[in-house]
Structure 1
């Protein structure tokens, strides 16, 4: 998480109130809504964004600030990115520390993310499904994306091929 991502996640008044309510002990959506004085629907939307940004972790009933992630972000200098590169912008939005924070709904953006993930595999090397699943599970940790869906997208987008339980990356 960069300082810019942190600022972006907390730039919205509702998300700031929700984050503060969690800091003050709210552990589920109704408790956070009561503490923040907000409708539950707004809280749920804000929670989703805060989780995606890596500021909040846990499920409903176990919400908490992800202090480890915040400490790591404080210690990690931000790498400069060219402002106009659309590919970099998509990757900064959906990939953090070699983990997917989500998959874009828009096909073009999703393909950018999938091509990035596909580089985890050497072109021409054949991988049993078990190995592919291990690599993709790491990409999906804490991101809400299913590794099986990710594998299917890689094949559907012709970034990987599959035959009799063996997968390989297509192209360079």
Structure 2
């Protein structure tokens, strides 16, 4: 059983209620129905899914019970298993707001917007070069094609975040 399988087995409210009823002593579907108030069909379906997931066992002698051994094995395996590497938050933000090299929209959250603006700046403008406003607009238009943002708004954010500087209609890269 994996963490995902366990979470999936207990994701449904009815299955959690059935699981709790069995933990508290219900040993068959009629007892689960009596304790939970669920319709018999819903209770039986929840028992079957929990049993299929390996969370419950249906022993002929003892009836329904939580498979504590299986849960212990799962806990041990999870404690020993190395943690999955976390995704780079910067890449997650870029995947969220860029599609095929164009902005889908600008993030409302300032930190996320900053990551996106830095990415655009690094890929669009060379450090030390000066650009007339028309060249800046032409460079930013492809980023905005098909999305909710426009190149003027994008240019304004780049200036406000001090990634570009403007003086007398000439722009240059000042940020990363």
Cα distance in structure 1, aligned partners of 2:108 and 2:121: 18
Name the residue aligned to 2:145.
141
Name the residue aligned to 2:157.
153
1:21-60 matched pairs, under 5 angstroms: none
Cα distance in structure 2, aligned partners of 1:101 and 1:84: 21
TM-score when normalising by structure 1: 0.51
Cα distance in structure 1, aligned partners of 2:164 and 2:175: 9
Name the residue aligned to 1:131.
135
Name the residue aligned to 2:103.
100
Name the residue aligned to 1:110.
113
Cα distance in structure 1, aligned partners of 2:148 and 2:174: 26
Deviations 1:21-77 (A, max 9, x none): xxxxxxxxxxxxxxxxxxxxxxxxxxxxxxxxxxxxxxxxxxxxxxxxxxxxxxxxx
Name the residue aligned to 2:81.
none
CA deviation after TM superposition for structure 1 residue 84, in Å: 2.0
Name the residue aligned to 2:82.
none
- Is the partner of 1:89 in helix, strand or coil? helix
TM-score when normalising by structure 2: 0.50
State the superposition RMSD in angstroms. Answer: 1.2
- Is the partner of 2:119 in helix, strand or coil? helix
Name the residue aligned to 2:167.
163
How many residue pairs match? The answer is 91
Name the residue aligned to 1:46.
none
CA deviation after TM superposition for structure 1 residue 131, in Å: 0.5
Name the residue aligned to 2:16.
none
